[in-house]
């Protein structure tokens, strides 16, 4: 059984998908042992507490230059095997990326290499997709490296863009039809292969 850490910044819908997959038997080779947020008021922390999962707040604002080191120490103390970024709105660098190379993954709300990189997060991704006029979007699970959204792709799932979509309706459909499906599958796949 591999130890999983989930890093979050907001509501935690992807975290909830992982908790549900763990409870429902989709994730059998790993267990979420800690949820870390860079924001003390992130609702994701409440989701974790309700599921009986340890939580912590480690923020760049509080830690400054020690942010990467503080995250790394938290992970090492819990023997973390896999780190999952599930709506974590802080760019990782330094020690954490070196110590956990090939063991940090992220879910991105587009089909990389489209609509990714600096500035492409949350609704901005869906606004860009609609503005460009694409007919298909989706989600991508990828490894995290020093290039924002630049790591090797693990899994993708396409979602149709519909006439009349708004950034909000498209975001919801991408979560429901892609993110909440492929993120748990990718976590299980990686845990089983470790």
Judged on CB neighbours under 10 Å (0-12, 13-18, 19+), 40 is: exposed
Set 29, 74, 108, 124: catalytic member: 108
- Residue 3, beta-bridge partner list: 31
d(C-alpha 116, C-alpha 100), whole Å:
22
Judged on CB neighbours under 10 Å (0-12, 13-18, 19+), 145 is: middle
Task: Report the Cα–Cα distance between both ends of the chain, in Å, rounded.
Answer: 10
d(C-alpha 85, C-alpha 12), whole Å:
11
108 among known catalytic residues = yes
d(C-alpha 107, C-alpha 178), whole Å:
10
* Secondary structure (3-state) at 128: helix
Active site residues: 108
């Amino acid at each position: 059984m591999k130890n999983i850490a989930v890093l979050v910044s907001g509501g935690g819908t992807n975290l909830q998908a992982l908790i549900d997959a763990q409870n429902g038997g989709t994730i059998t080779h790993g267990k979420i042992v800690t949820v870390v947020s860079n924001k003390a008021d992130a609702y994701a922390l409440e989701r974790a507490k309700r599921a009986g999962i340890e939580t912590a707040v480690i923020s760049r604002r509080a830690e400054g230059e020690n942010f990467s080191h503080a995250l790394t120490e938290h992970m090492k103390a819990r023997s973390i095997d896999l780190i999952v970024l599930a709506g974590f709105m802080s760019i990782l660098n330094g020690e954490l990326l070196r110590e956990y190379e090939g063991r940090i993954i992220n879910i991105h709300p587009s089909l990389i290499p489209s609509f990714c990189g600096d500035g492409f997060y949350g609704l901005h991704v869906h606004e860009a997709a609609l503005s460009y006029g694409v007919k298909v979007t989706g989600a991508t699970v990828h490894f995290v490296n020093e290039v924002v959204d630049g790591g090797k792709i693990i899994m993708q799932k396409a979602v149709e863009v519909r006439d009349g979509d708004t950034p909000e309706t498209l975001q919801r459909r991408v979560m429901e039809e892609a993110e909440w499906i492929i993120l748990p599958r990718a976590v299980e796949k990686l845990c089983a292969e470790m």
